[in-house]
A and B are shown apart, each in its own frame.
Chain A
Amino acid sequence: MVMKKQRESQSHIVDRIIAIHGRSMEAVIPILQDIQKEFNYLPEEALRHVCSHTDITPSAITGVSTFYSHFRSGKAGEHIIRVCTGTACHVKGALNVYDALCRELKLAKGEVTDPQGKFTLEKVSCLGCCTLAPVVKIDDITYGHLKTDKVGEMLHDFLTRQYGLKKQRNHRKKSVETTLGEIRIGLGSCCIASVSEAVKAELEKTLWENQIHVDVKQVGCVGICHQVPVLEVVKPGGQVAFYAKVKPEEVREVVLNHFRPEGFFSRLRMGFSGMIGNLLEEGIPRSFQRYDQEQRETPLQQFLEPQLAIATEDRGVMIPCDLEDFQHFGGFRQLKYCLDQLTPQQVIDEISLSGLRGRGGAGFPTGRKWQLVKDQASSGKYVICNGDEGDPGAFMDRMLLESYPLRIIEGMLIAAYATGANHGIFYIRAEYPLAVRRVKEAIHLCREKGIIGPSILGSAFSFEIEIFEGAGAFICGEETALIASVEGRRGHPSLRPPYPAFKGLHQKPTLVNNTETLSLISWIIRHGAKTFAVIGTPRSKGTKVFALAGKVRFGGLIEVPMGITIRQIVEDIGGGTIGHKFKAVQIGGPSGGCVPASHAGLPIDFEELITAGSMMGSGGLIVLDESDCMVDIAHYFLSFTQQQSCGKCTFCRVGTRRMLDLLEKFRHGSAREEDLHQLERLAASVKQGSLCGLGKTAPNPVLSALRYFRKEFEAHIQGHCPAGKCQPLITYHINETCIGCTICARQCPASAIENTPYEMHHIDVEKCIKCDICRQCCPVDAITVR
């Protein structure tokens, strides 16, 4: 009886979902997404129901639901734990965290859900919070800077929050009389992940309790992700104070340092505690750091100084989904200018003249792409904003979509006007829920104001925009695969030609532009092509946004002029490495390659990077130090592309796997000299023989590692991992610095360390599982890895 009732309600739910998305083949991905949102997985009954009530065939629904990694066919636990295995997380020990979670949840080999059905453990390619690495996300809560020995605490914290969380009151008063100033709080994903929501709640509570009338402005990503959460206090007269790494309990103090309470009673109360606050400020160290903007030579200044904000213009100031605010900063003025003053061809000429090249990786001239689409005679044309940023170690698109959705919409509208398109699609990764929400909201606002829809801003130009959420397939960043996905098919790329500009979505001319490309458009129109073209190198103009992460002191989202050197990025902006020596940067993620420290003078330029064996890619920039093993890095990237291969063509499907098998031999010390040649030859064939860009560039990380760090590969043949990273080749030992504190012995999950207080400890190499916990928890660095 109960069962029957459940099934009835299930089919009811599915009917509702079908009613929203329609019955066509194309609705399959949105339908599956909603079903999964509802049930946490895809129940077979629900899928059968979809097939019998829509045009979607069993074959299609199975093919699609098993293609995209976002979809789960088996029942999942109550909560989903996602361990980010992006590059930054990888180099900071994500796999050890994953293993620790397996132990903590007592998962049997091959199992992903704990026996109680509470948690399901998953690896995800990149959550885009690289500066907080290693990162774990449980449902909607993100935990950053996670240590292997802290996973138990994290689960405990999650469960307490889960069941103890009370709905927080919104303290903010709507009507504000005179304001004393403005407090800006960053609310990008990184900020939110690092408890800025709690900071914000505390901030509003403090303001309300003390009757302080200050504007609280939720701005997009500030870019200084290594310092989040950040608070910026602006007082009339331009005085700006910047607080980084603020904890909720410190908010009160920050606020009261700048503003006086207004009510009589509260002023009285505050007078008292303010005194305490002043006293506290004297000697006690605090966790947050305060920087004044006027103060030179601070890391903040160094971080910001070499940057140039075009795509990220007005960062930290602009409110993401506030049309008025956006217009205040000049938003949609360029669109209006184009519609009123320029012909489509003039717009294209301007973009061509600026020298702008696609920021998705390959660097195809944007103006030429627009021209191709414009030159097609067709009743319908599409513009797609490619926000399917899947590179592990890249989060530019996420930040841009979260922080400047209106700017990107403006870019898209200008592109649509120039090419004669009438329909736009934002293709955004499902892993970026905040980006989806912001863009959705922005579209809604624009539609209300007549900026999207028929006769835009009173012109003859009409344009509709919708959002398509990706479902976890890196390959869908490739434009033909992206189109297949929008059409409700498996994300298989197809051979180009025909290019999407000729035959794209629904066989219509389609312009696919990267998010960052579109976010540069309005600036170019406003300042003129020539102003843009002045920036950069002869062949690479303007700026490039990078996600700077890895072994660098100050990571974050940076926008730099083309032509800046790698050394400037790593040392000036990033503040160099910590502890170990700077070894290389990995640029371009799985399509790119490593550039060694010895080549750090290399300028950022599409062609220069390719010559150096790397690639601009979409802009992940991971700094590696001497403790990183290049065989491991090559293996890491290849295993990523290998997992993300669609499986269509032989060279990519089997070739990358065989390359990975070879790299696996290196990591295990079982490779021989001929394996090195085999690897090189196979890499060359995969590069030449693969069907699409994913396969053609997949060997790059391996080839560049071989080019600059061949000695490390040779060392692995001798059974030695110089960086001490490849697990099968290393052992853990305790040296004389050991003070016999027993922390490691108590933490060791394998009981490989005997608990002998005040005596030097010893690791039983046989029992050791190389989880790295002892090294992380040792207070005196007494653990040696050999």
Chain B
Amino acid sequence: MITLTIDHIVVQVPEGVTVMQAAGSIGTEIPSMCYLPGHFNHPSCMVCMVRDAQSGKFFPSCAMPVSEGMQVITHSPEIREMRRESLELLLSDHAGDCEAPCRLSCPAFMNIPLMNRLIASSDFEQALQVVQEEIALPLLLGYICPAPCEKACRRKPLQGSVSICLLKRTTATVTKSREKIAEALIRPSGKKVAVIGTGPAGLAAAFYLLRAGHQCVLFDKNDQAGGSLRYDIPESRLPREILDAEIRVIQQMGAVFEMNRTITGEAFEDLVKEFDAVILASGERSQQPSGFPAINTHTMGTSRPGIFGCGAIVRPTGMAVRSAAQGRVAALETDIYLKSGKHKKSGITFHSVITHLFESELQEYLKESIPGPRTEPQSGFLAGFSAEEAVREAKRCLRCDCRKSSGCKLRILSDEYQANRKRFTGPERKRLTKSMQHDLVVYEPQKCIRCGLCIEIAGKEKQALGLTFVGHGFEVEIGVPFNQTIKEALILTALECATSCPTGALAVKELTIDN
């Protein structure tokens, strides 16, 4: 047995064990990308750097064998900086979008590409579920949203952007059982929340509160619900039966609407006492009583516990979808407040982004799409797409989001270590390519971090050609011997390679709902 210390804790492990394994034995996790137990490609990524306390030297913990009397430090500001730097270097040589530009430009961060794929496979129910993860009012917004997503769509130069906004509306129109889907999600929590205002922010907040199982009462000074949607937007843009239908969904989910109720400062204090939480969604601040507290634009919370805000009261949003997105955030924050009082770790905010696509790259992206111009609905904009039209239009999506957007270690760690993807940049960005020949996996070499794990996994298979490093140094790439295709390289190990790949370079081709 070898005795060493890891972060000043004495550890005893058998000889031959690595520092990373020794750390694991006391529950200290060290990040890594290239390391996979049982393989010998590592160390390569150098994210698992730790420090020798005696010499001050850094070394990769995944490969360093323990030795008697070693003193290892696994976490310190310097180590964090080294790890961040290795991530930033890898990012400087990594070309790809974590998320599609449409999603990034959507104020609600809706998973548009996934919706498109589900529509393309005619699965409208699933598509609606995906939409409703971020968009409570798909039908309504399908009419009035200015669709910043379509301006960012990579398909734009290829005969027009994908008609995202209409596709989103179609998920609500084609699906018959929308309310049922919503109802089925409700699990009562026993908590009661007041929402002041029934505009896009208030309605969206109510939707997500109800989905989380909270009782919800909406207050509005007008006699009909809808706020700015009803009173500011002309009927020619938003037919009132559409607005009513959207409100009906929320009603059917259990929301109570208290109309003609102007909430003054006094009445507000009563609500605070009566309800477990209050969400302010009552429109522009100038028209509000003075008793409302100021709202934090990031968390939608206020200085007073249990009181949240969203929509134009925070700051004029100019877009119903932005108000609705804030309504969702306020509802989620309220939910956290009501359930545990604790914040769970918020989602990933790191995005690898390529701004402009080169002509050759557009052609690469077209490999996953169909040619042809943007579909115009036969029956006009107000009627929207038929299911068939929607399927065809959805197939125009280029699938420019990353297949590993949620499983990519480079992304997860870059997020964790707050890596700056622009810190090191090369003079020229690599041109993206997509290798689609294989039935099971897609290869995008420009996302590769050259860890060589796939080479080793493929090497286990004797029947196929396997993979290899081609060249050396900065230019080194993963390639197939004799310039053959990935299809000939991987027969039995393709899926193993794809699931082991730490980035989106090798990914499973097949579409799955949880991506």
B469 within 8 A of A: yes
A689 lies within 8 A of B427 (CB): no
Given contacts A59-B468, A682-B424, A689-B85, A653 and B474 within 8 Å (CB-CB)? yes
Task: Out of A63, A497, A661, name the residue touching B426 (CB < 8 Å).
Answer: A661
B31 within 8 A of A: no
Complex Cα spacing A664 to B426, Å: 11
Task: Out of A643, A644, A651, A654, name the residue touching B93 (CB < 8 Å).
Answer: A654
B90 lies within 8 A of A59 (CB): no
Given contacts A495-B64, A497-B67, A650-B89, A63 and B59 within 8 Å (CB-CB)? no
Contacting B at CB under 8 A, from A620-662, are 642-651, 653-658, 661
Closest to B93 in A: A654
Contacts of A67 in B (CB 8 A): 469, 471-472
> Which of B38-46, B223-231, B401-409 lies at the interface?
B38-46
B476 within 8 A of A: yes
A385 within 8 A of B: no
Closest to B82 in A: A689
Task: Out of B44, B465, B469, B475, name the residue touching A649 (CB < 8 Å).
Answer: B44
CB distance from B83 to the nearest CB of A (A): 9
Q: Mark A55-76, 1 if CB is under 8 A from B, else 0.
A: 0011111110011000000000
Contacts of A647 in B (CB 8 A): 450, 469, 471-476
Task: Out of B46, B89, B449, B472, name the residue touching A66 (CB < 8 Å).
Answer: B472
A658 lies within 8 A of B424 (CB): yes
A497 lies within 8 A of B65 (CB): yes
CB distance from A289 to the nearest CB of B (A): 45
Q: Mark B39-71, 1 if CB is under 8 A from A, else 0.
A: 000011111010000000111100111010000
Given contacts A644-B473, A689-B85, A59 and B64 within 8 Å (CB-CB)? no
Closest to A658 in B: B424
Closest to B427 in A: A661
Contacting A at CB under 8 A, from B472-491, are 472-476, 479, 481-482
B472 lies within 8 A of A658 (CB): no
A643 lies within 8 A of B473 (CB): yes
B3 within 8 A of A: no
A654 lies within 8 A of B89 (CB): yes
Q: Mark B450-463, 1 if CB is under 8 A from A, else 0.
A: 10100100110000
Closest to B58 in A: A688
Given contacts A62-B468, A66-B471, A643-B473, A658 and B89 within 8 Å (CB-CB)? yes
Complex Cα spacing A647 to B450, Å: 8
B306 within 8 A of A: no
Most A CB contacts (10 A, CB to CB) among B47, B468, B475 go to B468
Closest to B475 in A: A647
B46 lies within 8 A of A691 (CB): yes
B482 lies within 8 A of A57 (CB): no
Complex Cα spacing A248 to B224, Å: 110
Contacting A at CB under 8 A, from B83-138, are 85-86, 89-90, 92-93
B309 within 8 A of A: no
Closest to A69 in B: B472
Contacts of B93 in A (CB 8 A): 654, 657
Complex Cα spacing A322 to B510, Å: 70
Task: Out of A61, A497, A646, A689, name the residue touching B472 (CB < 8 Å).
Answer: A646
Contacting B at CB under 8 A, from A540-566, are none
Contacting A at CB under 8 A, from B140-155, are none
A685 within 8 A of B: yes
B314 within 8 A of A: no
B482 lies within 8 A of A58 (CB): yes
Contacts of B469 in A (CB 8 A): 63, 66-67, 490, 647
A495 lies within 8 A of B89 (CB): no
Closest to B455 in A: A59
A384 within 8 A of B: no
Complex Cα spacing A216 to B126, Å: 92
Task: Out of B67, B85, B482, name the residue touching A48 (CB < 8 Å).
Answer: B482
Contacts of B202 in A (CB 8 A): none
Contacts of B459 in A (CB 8 A): 57, 59
Contacting A at CB under 8 A, from B237-286, are none
CB distance from B58 to the nearest CB of A (A): 5
Contacts of A644 in B (CB 8 A): 473
Closest to A662 in B: B424
Q: Mark A478-508, 1 if CB is under 8 A from B, else 0.
A: 0000000000001000110110000000000
Interface size on B, residues (CB 8 A): 45
B199 within 8 A of A: no
Complex Cα spacing A688 to B43, Å: 15
Complex Cα spacing A60 to B458, Å: 12
CB distance from B450 to the nearest CB of A (A): 6
Given contacts A57-B466, A664-B427, A490 and B472 within 8 Å (CB-CB)? yes
Contacts of A691 in B (CB 8 A): 43, 46, 60
Task: Out of A58, A654, A657, name the residue touching B465 (CB < 8 Å).
Answer: A58
CB distance from B27 to the nearest CB of A (A): 25
Complex Cα spacing A656 to B93, Å: 12
Contacts of B26 in A (CB 8 A): none
Most A CB contacts (10 A, CB to CB) among B57, B85, B458 go to B85
Contacts of B476 in A (CB 8 A): 646-647, 653
Contacts of B45 in A (CB 8 A): 649-650
A650 lies within 8 A of B427 (CB): no
Most A CB contacts (10 A, CB to CB) among B82, B450, B469, B475 go to B469
Given contacts A59-B455, A495-B43, A688-B58, A654 and B92 within 8 Å (CB-CB)? yes
B470 within 8 A of A: yes
Contacts of B450 in A (CB 8 A): 647-648, 653
B473 lies within 8 A of A653 (CB): yes
B182 within 8 A of A: no
B85 lies within 8 A of A685 (CB): yes
Contacting A at CB under 8 A, from B399-457, are 424, 426-427, 449-450, 452, 455
B465 lies within 8 A of A655 (CB): no
B467 within 8 A of A: yes
CB distance from A646 to the nearest CB of B (A): 5
B466 lies within 8 A of A688 (CB): no
A373 within 8 A of B: no
Contacts of A48 in B (CB 8 A): 482
B89 lies within 8 A of A59 (CB): no
Complex Cα spacing A353 to B64, Å: 32
B82 lies within 8 A of A59 (CB): no
A44 within 8 A of B: yes
Complex Cα spacing A497 to B16, Å: 11
Q: Mark A13-30, 1 if CB is under 8 A from B, else 0.
A: 000000000000000000
Task: Out of B46, B92, B426, B471, name the residue touching A651 (CB < 8 Å).
Answer: B46
Complex Cα spacing A685 to B424, Å: 13
A702 within 8 A of B: no
Closest to B474 in A: A657
Contacts of A773 in B (CB 8 A): none
Q: Mark A677-713, 1 if CB is under 8 A from B, else 0.
A: 0000010010011010000000000000000000000
CB distance from B55 to the nearest CB of A (A): 11
A255 within 8 A of B: no
CB distance from B232 to the nearest CB of A (A): 48
Contacts of A656 in B (CB 8 A): 474
Complex Cα spacing A687 to B44, Å: 15
Task: Out of B49, B89, B482, name the residue touching A655 (CB < 8 Å).
Answer: B89
Complex Cα spacing A656 to B424, Å: 11
A47 within 8 A of B: yes
A594 within 8 A of B: no
A654 lies within 8 A of B90 (CB): yes
Most B CB contacts (10 A, CB to CB) among A497, A654, A661, A689 go to A654
- Sampled A-B contacts (16; CB under 8 Å): A57-B466, A59-B455, A60-B468, A66-B471, A473-B472, A494-B63, A495-B43, A495-B60, A495-B63, A647-B469, A647-B472, A650-B44, A650-B46, A651-B89, A654-B93, A688-B58
List the 3 shortest-distance A-B pairs measured between CB atoms, nearest first. Answer: A58-B481, A647-B476, A59-B466
Apart from A653-B476, A688-B57, 14 more pairs, CB < 8 Å: A58-B466, A60-B468, A63-B470, A67-B472, A475-B472, A495-B43, A642-B473, A643-B473, A644-B473, A648-B452, A651-B85, A656-B474, A661-B424, A661-B427
